[in-house]
Structure 1
Amino acid sequence: MKKQHKGIFFVVIFGGGLLFWATAASMPGAGPMNEEPEITITGTPADNFSDTDRPRFCGSGNAKSTDFVTEYSIPTECTNPLAIVADYDGNVWFTQTNTGKLAKFDSNTETFTEYDNPIWPKNGRSMMWGIDYAPDGSVWFTDEAFDSVWKFSTIDEKYDRFGYPSEDDALPQRLAITGSQIIVNDFTGNKLTFFDLGQSADEIQYISLPSPIDNSVTADFTLDENNNVWYTNWLFQQGGVLVKFDYNGYRNAVQESGKEFFAGDMFTEIYQLPVELLTPNGAAMSNDGKIWLADTTSSSFFSFNPITEEFTQFITADPLLSAYGNQTGVIKNPISRPYWIDSDEQGRIIFNEQNANNISVFDPKSNLLVEYHVPSKNPYWGDCDPGTGMMLADCGLAQIFDFAIDGEKIWFTEWVENNIGVVDTSVPLPLEIQLESETISISPGDSRHLNFIVSSKSSDAVLGNSLILSSSHDFLNVEVSHDSSESFQLIPGTPHPIHTNLSASEDAVSGTYKILVGAQSSDIAIGKFITVTIE
């Protein structure tokens, strides 16, 4: 039987030489080498990387902008910004994995403040994946290298470190504050931990809930309106389960019995993930009660209806060539890799696409998917060398590893470009998609015409676009007809009809599927989903 763990979470002060090697080895490009790498001392956080690795981790250019995205360069060089959250006063807080600091960006004055962390180990680096802002003005964040949860008081500007409870391998990852509880998933330690903030400042009680699949990972989590915790538990590239945990019911039972016990089947419900969903990192709850999951080994994201217990698969547009370069031609089927996912007050689903350099917004009511292309790119994270040793300028990834919703705006970090940025979703879209039909039926071995219209919403600008024709399954294919082109220009006042053919192979599996059609430019992709029923 798995063990339920209860304990006390203590404030911990770092010693002077704490396991720097373990920290360095956990970062790409920082493992042992046969020869001592050359390091030019600059007096900045860039000194944590060799001269060779600095372009890869410290950024390749200045902040950029589009009509929809604005970026801001962090004053300190090579901080590697990661987890990000917005407070109630127009400030954005984010962690710096290469400095151990928390930083603030005032969106009203557009100024940065970086708060020195005096108890951070010298030259220490850590991936800080989780962050949240508490009503008392404190910011909490996770730290995987040192198995810690940190509290920063924005009032007295003081850090406190709490050792994360672990027996073996641990990776405290995402973090959320709900009421007097802090919830953290232990990605490699395979558990959820619930911390009680109602205790004293120096010790916090906690309960750790082991996940149902042994030797697996416990990924992101979300809460429904009844405070049930939903999270995924899976084996890499082998699938897994979606778990519903009745935490309130469990706590009430503990109080009535006066003792802790294994939650087991009494307080958990388990749902098998579809075979197409292999790496569900992000999890979110929408206001209609559905669970949304982001799949990082594909271009898909999924919804789960707890009433019907059915999963629905959605797909993004293909990444732009500039996101991956493909100068060697080895990438045959590029994928976007949705990573984290969230929902806003309008019921829209927000997610980042790691391999497409996008922040994306899906409206389930209109079936509209808008993918905002982030302009900064680091060519050392793409196939961007044409063979000359000189990287292409507009190529690669900024490694957008986190985002935070603030009304109509979506703030995000660029881990290898040393920027933060914001998407303004209130900016009018440059085009619209009109479908001939939102549903279509087809039999295996058959094909159907599928037409739609792309119209410019600009009054004067001519827009260059390429088609989006995306299907989540190989047996369902959408191709442009001979009288249409995959690339075209939109002229104001002149709707552009698109003719395509939808075909299902002989071995197509009966069911209901989603395909995405639309158009994209260098700055934005706009598409609508069509429901396809294979009879």
Structure 2
Amino acid sequence: MRVRESAKGGCSDWTVHVAALSLARHAGQFYRTWRLQPERVCFKCGLIACRQTEMPAGGQALPALQSDVNVAGDHAGAFRESEGNQAMLKVFALWALLPALAVAGGSNYTVAPGVSRPAGKISEWNVPTPKFARDPAPGLDGRIYIAVMAGNRLARFDPATERFEEWELPAGTRPHGLVVDERGTVWMTGNGNGTLLEIPFSNGQPQAMKPHPAPSGGSPHTIVFDGRDSLWFTNQSANKVTRYQRSSGKMEEFSTHDGPYGLALDRDGNVWFCQASGQRVGRIDARSSKITEIDLGAGSLPRRIAAAPDNTLWVVRYGDGKLTHIDAAKQSVLKSYEMPAGPRGNPYAVTVDGAGKVWANEISVDTVSLLDPATGKFQVFSLPTNNEGIRKMIVDAQGRLWYMGSHSGKLGMVQ
């Protein structure tokens, strides 16, 4: 079954990239219940085109949020059925199914993670400039983008060709985190000069770079994207969490304490962040902007946090070797798991795949582990290089885990 664009009009911003389809497929139980197969996603006007591959049990009709193509706004007439095809083409408002494009798991990047089924194969590649490269991020182009902190560069790796490219950044940037938005623009936190660096791309190459100064300066740290308009980043030394709106160019800061570090967004747009030098996870309410906290106990030192498809969050506790599961809606701890190496492992990075399984590393023992919450069991993978120094990990659209060894200078993949 294929969907083809008509010769006339309609929105021109449809994408058929595998990552975009993966994003749509992780909308959750809705698609499984109604036998829908997402085929195209528009990042401009927020619509998903789906096919109902079969009628659900009992012959139930589709819910009211359905819109037929002939009333689908800019996409009216933009699709047609193949002759003789009995399946129905339906178009849905993306916001009605996914409050944020990237909330399907992982740490709120534009690419929704696939399901990890690791066989244990680990591959590593030496980055061209091994100067504390860190914080890999996926792009919709299938490539992996890397912040080379001490080398003051942006690196990009193409898994298809296994080749790197690098670009110099404005002097003093010392990039820490980065995210690639749906337009292909790279946003990097300037840990060295207190900025948010905007790097638009055209024809695969960076264009003029634009630094946006953070109001408090400080040391911008981890960054995520809400899938619509806003970028959120922590500012560790300034004790701030900052929102940047692409449409207005405005920044708004929220004050906190204890060195805000990792952060993630839940399904309702609330911002969760770790207070790395303390024992709490903070939450900024999306509507009231009120900040509340969950106390994880003395010595926990929560480092990073990741959002899961079921609107829960996972936190790695560097200080006491635990992995904590939080219910975002109830704002409460569901359960804490002892990591395989215990307190000596110092868990540092965490990310979640499209099925809700949780990847976390233990930086002091050079392992990455995959937790299946359904069984409560960890699958542990020993890394091929000693003293990797992993500080951030992501899952790509194919379910592969990517990590960057800040100490080893190696980009790694587990599949």
- How does the TM-score come out when normalised to structure 1? 0.51
Distance 1:150 1:419 in 2: 24
Show the 5 A alignment for 1:292-331. 292-306=314-328, 307=330, 309-318=332-341
Report percent identity of matched pairs. 16
Q: CA RMSD in A?
A: 2.3
Matched to 2:209, the amino acid is D
Q: 1:243 to 1:79 in 2, by over 3 A?
A: closer
Equivalent position of 1:345 in the other structure: 354
Equivalent position of 1:150 in the other structure: 197
Distance 2:179 2:188 in 1: 7
Counterpart check, 1:420 vs 2:401: no
Equivalent position of 2:370 in the other structure: 361
Query: Aligned to 1:355, what secondary structure does the other structure show?
Result: coil
Q: 1:310 to 1:84 in 2, by over 3 A?
A: closer
Distance 1:346 1:229 in 2: 22
Matched to 2:409, the amino acid is N
Equivalent position of 2:270 in the other structure: 228
Distance 1:125 1:372 in 2: 34
Equivalent position of 2:281 in the other structure: 242
Larger RCO, structure (CA 8 Å, separation 6 or more): 2
Counterpart check, 1:269 vs 2:292: yes
Give the deviation of 1:111 after TM superposition. Answer: 1.1
Distance 2:232 2:152 in 1: 21
Equivalent position of 1:15 in the other structure: none
Matched to 2:219, the amino acid is L
Query: Aligned to 1:129, what secondary structure does the other structure show?
Result: strand
Distance 1:233 1:318 in 2: 23
Q: Which protein is bigger by CA-based radius of gyration?
A: 1
What runs of 5+ residues in structure 2 fail to find an aligned partner? 1-118
Show the 5 A alignment for 1:198-209. 198-199=247-248, 204-209=249-254
Give the deviation of 1:67 after TM superposition. Answer: 4.8
1:143·1:172 contact (CA, 8 Å) conserved in 2? yes
Distance 1:352 1:125 in 2: 27
Distance 1:362 1:299 in 2: 14
2:281·2:302 contact (CA, 8 Å) conserved in 1? no
Show the 5 A alignment for 1:87-126. 87-117=139-169, 120-121=170-171, 126=174
Distance 2:209 2:311 in 1: 36
Give 1:193's match in structure 2, choosing from 242, 252, 268. 242
Give the deviation of 1:163 after TM superposition. Answer: 4.1
Distance 2:377 2:165 in 1: 37
Q: 1:284 to 1:67 in 2, by over 3 A?
A: closer
Distance 1:107 1:415 in 2: 19
The number of equivalent residue pairs is 292
Q: 1:226 to 1:105 in 2, by over 3 A?
A: same
Give 1:335's match in structure 2, choosing from 337, 344, 356. 344
Q: 1:67 to 1:347 in 2, by over 3 A?
A: closer
Counterpart check, 1:402 vs 2:411: no
2:354·2:399 contact (CA, 8 Å) conserved in 1? no
Matched to 2:183, the amino acid is D
Show the 5 A alignment for 1:39-50. none
Give 2:179's match in structure 1, choosing from 122, 132, 136. 132
What runs of 5+ residues in structure 1 fail to find an aligned partner? 1-65, 251-262, 320-333, 378-396, 425-535
1:195·1:207 contact (CA, 8 Å) conserved in 2? yes
Matched to 1:243, the amino acid is G
Q: What are the superposed Cα offsets for residues 401-422 of structure 1, whole Å, 9 maximum, x if unpaired?
A: 2222113201111112221110
- How does the TM-score come out when normalised to structure 2? 0.65
